[in-house]
Amino acid sequence: MSSIHIYWDESHFWGLLVTRALSAWGIPHRLVRGSEIADGALAGKFGEAPKLLIAPGGRARGKAERLGPRGMEAVREFVRSGGVYLGFCGGTGLALSGPHGLGLSPWTRQGYKNRLHHFLSGHVYAELDAGSPLVPDAMDSALLPVWWPGRFAPADGGVTVLARYKTPGPDFWVADLDLATLPEGTMADWENLYGISLKPDFMQGQPCVTANDYGAGRVILSYAHLETPASRQANAWLGHILGLVLDEPTTTAPLPAWDVSARPVAWNDDVLAGARSAMEAIIRTGTDHFLLFWRNPWLLGWRRGIPGAGINSLYSLICESMAVEPGDDALAFWRENRDRFRVLMGMLENGVTGYLLAERLAMTVFHSDPSAVSPEGLKEQRRALFGMPPEPGGIHADLVSILEELYWRLSLSAQS
């Protein structure tokens, strides 16, 4: 049985990143749901108790709701009794103190006064605490990936800062703006002319990765996604942490690149295959009309306001589900849900295609007739299809819920 459990609920795309990383390195692991945690998974009810619980990115409040009071206390007891908690992004937010938080760290989450400052993505240079055993030898700085991170609100309480942000890396974006493509001084000009501040300078010196004790256990929280594919220094750091926690040699080789569209098909179910084709058609519509683009083979980019993250998540879950040979439990679940999934997928394909084209039309006619395509109408279309950030919803949420349950069952099949 695995010494690593991954809290799967409300992880979507980010749970796949963690699962893929451990699988690529050959490290045994198990995906666990909030209900299983509440029922004793971390105490060994379903096999050997793990040494490490990883909470991937995703919506912290949703993760807390799926755990419920019993599950949240079970996580606290796991760490208090000597377990290790490793959180990435949303998993970090879940561990902090405050509403919907586990209170594993005395720090809380700090909001953004400028909402655009939340939409930061790409690699950033960071200064590391080379004196900590949790940091690899001779790694006093690193280029670390962040994908729309939250922020710590530091407070007293015995927290060690393992990494602090320095300056943006070569692939750093603010919302849908690639900073490397802007002539020097552009953002200063925008601030002077329009009063709009997009500079990520506020990040410099802020905590990025922290560690603290909780009872007999350890809490490691990272707004950097150390599990990002082919991110050499981040991957080396993650491998180092896993080696310490598991008390056994662990590779620090870079994780292989991830090409979502090139994933092999081990389960050629016609409904899933149709959904994959539908998502590829949606993405093609978005890219043809300058609303979506591939930043790399696993991550979509999108124009501000377009629900690119939801599209990316759904497509990735479909492709990864088709890459696993199903067991009896997964097949039984799919037989009960495939017709509903097929109907919902057809509704989403038609709705998203029309919505994307309406967004494109609104962009085209904006300067001649800004009211020709109602912004409120577009907002309602998006709400029906994807919900409104930060709360997921709409048809997309129903589809992702089915796929998350399916993939969890597929993962159990692969381990049996």
- The whole-number pLDDT of residue 89 equals 96
Q: 3-state secondary structure string, the chain? A: CCCEEEECCCCHHHHHHHHHHHHHCCCCCEEECHHHHHCCHHHCCCCCCCCEEEECCCCHHHHHHHHHHHHHHHHHHHHHCCCEEEEECHHHHHHCCCCCCCCCCCCEEECCCCHHHHCEEEEEEEEECCCCCCCCCCCCEEEEEEECCCEEECCCCCCEEEEEEEEECCCCEECCEEHHHCCCCHHHHHHHHHCCCCCHHHHCCCEEEEEEEECCEEEEEECCCCCCCCCHHHHHHHHHHHHHHHCCCCCCCCCCCCCHHHCCCCCCCHHHHHHHHHHHHHHHHHHHCCCEEEEECCEEEECCCCCHHHHHHHHHHHHHHHCCCCCHHHHHHHHHHHHHHHHHHHHHHHHHHHHHHHHHHHHHHCCCCCCCCCHHHHHHHHHHHHEECCEECHHHHHHHHHHHHHHHHHHHHHHC
- The whole-number pLDDT of residue 2 equals 64
- The whole-number pLDDT of residue 123 equals 97
Among residues 292, 287, 279, 352, the alpha carbon closest in space to that of 322 is found at 279
Cα separation, 139 vs 347, in Å, equals 50
**Sole residue written with tokens 């991550």:** 299
Cα separation, 349 vs 214, in Å, equals 47
- Residues of the chain above pLDDT 70, percent: 99
- The whole-number pLDDT of residue 251 equals 79
Among residues 416, 396, 400, the alpha carbon closest in space to that of 9 is found at 400
pLDDT digits (tens, 9 = 90+) for 64-82: 999 999 999 999 999 999 9
Q: Can you read off the two tokens belonging to residue 247?
A: 């008390």
- The whole-number pLDDT of residue 113 equals 79
- The whole-number pLDDT of residue 96 equals 98
pLDDT digits (tens, 9 = 90+) for 172-212: 999 999 999 999 999 999 999 998 888 888 899 999 999 99
Phi-psi region of 66 (alpha: psi -120 to 50; beta: other; left: phi over 0): alpha
Q: How confident is the model at residue 416 (pLDDT cuts 50, 70, 90)?
A: low
pLDDT digits (tens, 9 = 90+) for 207-236: 999 999 999 999 999 999 999 999 999 999
Q: What is the CA radius of gyration of the chain?
A: 21
- The whole-number pLDDT of residue 30 equals 95
pLDDT digits (tens, 9 = 90+) for 371-412: 889 999 999 999 999 998 777 899 999 999 999 999 999 999
pLDDT digits (tens, 9 = 90+) for 83-132: 999 999 999 999 999 988 999 999 999 987 777 788 999 999 999 999 99
Phi-psi region of 148 (alpha: psi -120 to 50; beta: other; left: phi over 0): left
pLDDT digits (tens, 9 = 90+) for 259-288: 999 999 999 999 999 999 999 999 999 999
Among residues 222, 236, 101, 89, the alpha carbon closest in space to that of 150 is found at 89
Cα separation, 337 vs 272, in Å, equals 12
pLDDT digits (tens, 9 = 90+) for 281-300: 999 999 999 999 999 999 99
Domain boundaries, the chain: 4-246, 260-415
Residue 29: count other Cβ atoms within 10 Å of its Cβ: 21
- The whole-number pLDDT of residue 273 equals 98
Asked if the model's pLDDT at residue 1 lies above 50, the reply is no
CA dihedral 394, 316, 313, 101 (to 10 degrees): 120
CA dihedral 166, 167, 168, 170 (to 10 degrees): -110
Cα separation, 88 vs 308, in Å, equals 21
- The whole-number pLDDT of residue 236 equals 96
Do residues 340 and 401 touch, judged by C-beta distance below 8 A?
no
Taking the mean position of all CA atoms in its chain, how far away is CA 184?
A: 31
Average pLDDT, stretch 5-23?
Answer: 95
- The whole-number pLDDT of residue 391 equals 78
- The whole-number pLDDT of residue 372 equals 85
- The whole-number pLDDT of residue 249 equals 82
- The whole-number pLDDT of residue 111 equals 84
Judge if pTM exceeds 0.75: yes
Residue with the bigger pLDDT between 250 and 63: it is 63
Classified by CATH at the fold level, domain 4-246 comes out as Rossmann fold (3.40.50)
**Sole residue written with tokens 């953004």:** 112
**Sole residue written with tokens 């256990």:** 217
Mean pLDDT of the chain: 94
